[in-house]
Amino acid sequence: MKTKPFYQLIFLLILFTTGCSDDDAPVVVETATIDLINNTFPEYQAEIQETLADLFQSIQDKDADKLISFHVYGPKFTEFINGGLRVGSAENEAAERGLVDAISGFEYDLNDLKIDVYGEVAKVTFHADFRPVIGGETYQNNAQITLLFVRIDGLWKITHEHNSPLNIGAEGKTVL
Protein backbone atom coordinates (compact mmCIF):
# COMPACT_ATOMS: atom_id res chain seq x y z
CA MET A 1 0.00 0.00 0.00
CA LYS A 2 1.34 3.38 -0.98
CA THR A 3 0.54 5.97 1.68
CA LYS A 4 2.72 8.83 0.46
CA PRO A 5 0.30 10.02 -2.30
CA PHE A 6 -2.60 9.70 0.17
CA TYR A 7 -0.87 11.98 2.71
CA GLN A 8 0.13 14.41 -0.03
CA LEU A 9 -3.52 14.64 -1.10
CA ILE A 10 -4.65 15.23 2.48
CA PHE A 11 -1.98 17.91 2.93
CA LEU A 12 -3.08 19.69 -0.26
CA LEU A 13 -6.74 19.58 0.77
CA ILE A 14 -5.89 21.09 4.16
CA LEU A 15 -3.71 23.72 2.54
CA PHE A 16 -6.38 24.77 0.04
CA THR A 17 -9.23 24.82 2.54
CA THR A 18 -7.45 26.66 5.35
CA GLY A 19 -4.52 28.44 3.73
CA CYS A 20 -6.16 31.76 2.85
CA SER A 21 -8.76 33.85 4.52
CA ASP A 22 -10.82 36.48 2.74
CA ASP A 23 -8.88 39.14 4.65
CA ASP A 24 -5.64 37.97 3.02
CA ALA A 25 -7.02 37.97 -0.52
CA PRO A 26 -5.82 40.82 -2.69
CA VAL A 27 -8.40 43.41 -3.68
CA VAL A 28 -8.85 43.44 -7.42
CA VAL A 29 -10.79 46.29 -8.99
CA GLU A 30 -11.73 45.57 -12.55
CA THR A 31 -11.20 48.29 -15.14
CA ALA A 32 -14.90 48.04 -16.07
CA THR A 33 -15.85 48.83 -12.46
CA ILE A 34 -13.61 51.90 -12.42
CA ASP A 35 -15.19 53.04 -15.70
CA LEU A 36 -18.69 52.73 -14.19
CA ILE A 37 -17.64 54.87 -11.24
CA ASN A 38 -15.55 57.51 -13.03
CA ASN A 39 -17.31 57.86 -16.39
CA THR A 40 -20.12 60.43 -16.27
CA PHE A 41 -21.86 58.98 -19.36
CA PRO A 42 -22.88 62.42 -20.69
CA GLU A 43 -25.08 60.97 -23.45
CA TYR A 44 -27.10 59.05 -20.86
CA GLN A 45 -27.24 62.09 -18.57
CA ALA A 46 -28.80 64.05 -21.46
CA GLU A 47 -31.33 61.27 -22.06
CA ILE A 48 -32.30 61.28 -18.39
CA GLN A 49 -32.57 65.08 -18.36
CA GLU A 50 -34.98 64.82 -21.31
CA THR A 51 -36.90 62.02 -19.56
CA LEU A 52 -37.32 64.22 -16.47
CA ALA A 53 -38.60 67.11 -18.59
CA ASP A 54 -41.11 64.79 -20.31
CA LEU A 55 -42.16 63.29 -16.97
CA PHE A 56 -42.93 66.67 -15.41
CA GLN A 57 -44.62 67.84 -18.61
CA SER A 58 -46.97 64.84 -18.31
CA ILE A 59 -47.96 66.10 -14.84
CA GLN A 60 -48.56 69.60 -16.18
CA ASP A 61 -50.60 68.12 -19.04
CA LYS A 62 -52.58 65.98 -16.55
CA ASP A 63 -51.66 62.87 -18.56
CA ALA A 64 -51.62 60.10 -15.93
CA ASP A 65 -51.00 57.31 -18.44
CA LYS A 66 -47.90 59.05 -19.76
CA LEU A 67 -46.69 59.71 -16.21
CA ILE A 68 -47.14 56.02 -15.39
CA SER A 69 -45.18 55.06 -18.53
CA PHE A 70 -42.00 56.50 -16.98
CA HIS A 71 -42.06 53.73 -14.33
CA VAL A 72 -41.10 50.07 -14.53
CA TYR A 73 -43.66 48.52 -12.23
CA GLY A 74 -43.17 45.01 -10.94
CA PRO A 75 -41.88 43.17 -7.88
CA LYS A 76 -38.63 45.18 -7.75
CA PHE A 77 -40.32 48.61 -7.77
CA THR A 78 -40.21 50.40 -4.39
CA GLU A 79 -41.06 53.81 -2.99
CA PHE A 80 -40.47 55.62 0.29
CA ILE A 81 -42.46 58.79 0.88
CA ASN A 82 -42.48 61.18 3.84
CA GLY A 83 -40.98 58.70 6.28
CA GLY A 84 -43.65 56.07 5.69
CA LEU A 85 -43.18 52.37 5.14
CA ARG A 86 -41.95 51.11 1.79
CA VAL A 87 -44.68 50.65 -0.82
CA GLY A 88 -44.73 49.02 -4.22
CA SER A 89 -46.09 49.42 -7.73
CA ALA A 90 -49.82 49.49 -6.99
CA GLU A 91 -49.52 52.12 -4.27
CA ASN A 92 -47.21 54.30 -6.36
CA GLU A 93 -49.45 54.13 -9.41
CA ALA A 94 -52.53 55.02 -7.33
CA ALA A 95 -50.69 58.00 -5.80
CA GLU A 96 -49.42 59.21 -9.19
CA ARG A 97 -52.92 58.99 -10.71
CA GLY A 98 -54.38 60.71 -7.63
CA LEU A 99 -51.92 63.58 -8.00
CA VAL A 100 -52.77 64.10 -11.66
CA ASP A 101 -56.51 63.96 -10.91
CA ALA A 102 -56.25 66.44 -8.01
CA ILE A 103 -54.19 69.19 -9.60
CA SER A 104 -55.33 71.95 -11.90
CA GLY A 105 -51.81 73.33 -12.32
CA PHE A 106 -48.27 72.35 -11.50
CA GLU A 107 -45.07 74.38 -11.45
CA TYR A 108 -41.75 73.04 -10.26
CA ASP A 109 -38.02 73.56 -9.94
CA LEU A 110 -35.45 70.78 -9.58
CA ASN A 111 -32.79 72.50 -7.51
CA ASP A 112 -29.29 71.05 -7.13
CA LEU A 113 -30.07 68.38 -9.76
CA LYS A 114 -27.45 65.61 -9.85
CA ILE A 115 -27.55 62.74 -12.34
CA ASP A 116 -25.12 59.90 -11.62
CA VAL A 117 -25.03 57.21 -14.29
CA TYR A 118 -23.52 53.77 -13.75
CA GLY A 119 -23.92 52.25 -17.20
CA GLU A 120 -27.53 51.08 -17.49
CA VAL A 121 -28.48 52.34 -14.00
CA ALA A 122 -28.74 55.94 -12.83
CA LYS A 123 -29.33 57.73 -9.53
CA VAL A 124 -31.01 61.13 -9.79
CA THR A 125 -31.17 63.44 -6.78
CA PHE A 126 -32.55 66.95 -6.40
CA HIS A 127 -34.21 69.36 -4.00
CA ALA A 128 -37.75 69.63 -5.27
CA ASP A 129 -39.69 72.86 -5.23
CA PHE A 130 -43.15 71.67 -6.26
CA ARG A 131 -46.07 74.09 -6.46
CA PRO A 132 -49.26 72.17 -7.30
CA VAL A 133 -52.58 73.97 -7.61
CA ILE A 134 -55.30 71.96 -5.90
CA GLY A 135 -58.83 73.28 -5.50
CA GLY A 136 -57.72 76.70 -6.70
CA GLU A 137 -55.04 76.98 -4.01
CA THR A 138 -51.29 76.79 -4.66
CA TYR A 139 -49.39 74.56 -2.26
CA GLN A 140 -45.65 74.61 -1.60
CA ASN A 141 -43.82 71.28 -1.31
CA ASN A 142 -40.08 71.28 -0.71
CA ALA A 143 -38.58 67.81 -0.67
CA GLN A 144 -35.45 65.76 -1.15
CA ILE A 145 -36.01 63.37 -4.04
CA THR A 146 -34.03 60.34 -5.16
CA LEU A 147 -35.05 58.46 -8.30
CA LEU A 148 -33.38 55.25 -9.37
CA PHE A 149 -33.58 54.67 -13.12
CA VAL A 150 -32.80 51.58 -15.17
CA ARG A 151 -32.35 51.61 -18.94
CA ILE A 152 -34.74 49.20 -20.64
CA ASP A 153 -34.95 48.91 -24.43
CA GLY A 154 -33.23 52.29 -24.80
CA LEU A 155 -35.60 54.10 -22.41
CA TRP A 156 -34.95 55.25 -18.84
CA LYS A 157 -37.56 53.95 -16.37
CA ILE A 158 -37.98 54.66 -12.65
CA THR A 159 -37.64 51.59 -10.45
CA HIS A 160 -37.38 53.36 -7.07
CA GLU A 161 -38.54 56.70 -5.66
CA HIS A 162 -37.62 58.27 -2.35
CA ASN A 163 -39.32 61.49 -1.26
CA SER A 164 -38.55 63.12 2.10
CA PRO A 165 -39.32 66.59 3.44
CA LEU A 166 -36.55 69.11 2.94
CA ASN A 167 -35.96 70.58 6.39
CA ILE A 168 -34.13 73.83 5.68
CA GLY A 169 -34.69 76.97 7.74
CA ALA A 170 -34.64 80.57 6.59
CA GLU A 171 -30.86 80.75 7.14
CA GLY A 172 -30.28 77.78 4.83
CA LYS A 173 -29.41 75.49 7.74
CA THR A 174 -30.86 72.05 8.32
CA VAL A 175 -33.72 72.04 10.81
CA LEU A 176 -33.97 68.90 12.94
Tens-digit pLDDT profile for residues 81-101: 999 999 999 999 999 999 999
Per-residue confidence band for 170, with pLDDT thresholds at 50, 70 and 90: low
> Rounded CA gap, 78 and 29, in Å?
30
**Residue predicted with more confidence, 108 or 19:** 108
Per-residue confidence band for 159, with pLDDT thresholds at 50, 70 and 90: very high
Q: Where do the domains of the chain lie, and which CATH numbers do they carry?
A: 39-165 (3.10.450.50)
Closest CA to 88 of 67, 73, 71: 73
* pLDDT attached to residue 34: 81
> Rounded CA gap, 25 and 11, in Å?
21
Burial of 49 (0-12, 13-18, 19+ CB in 10 A): middle
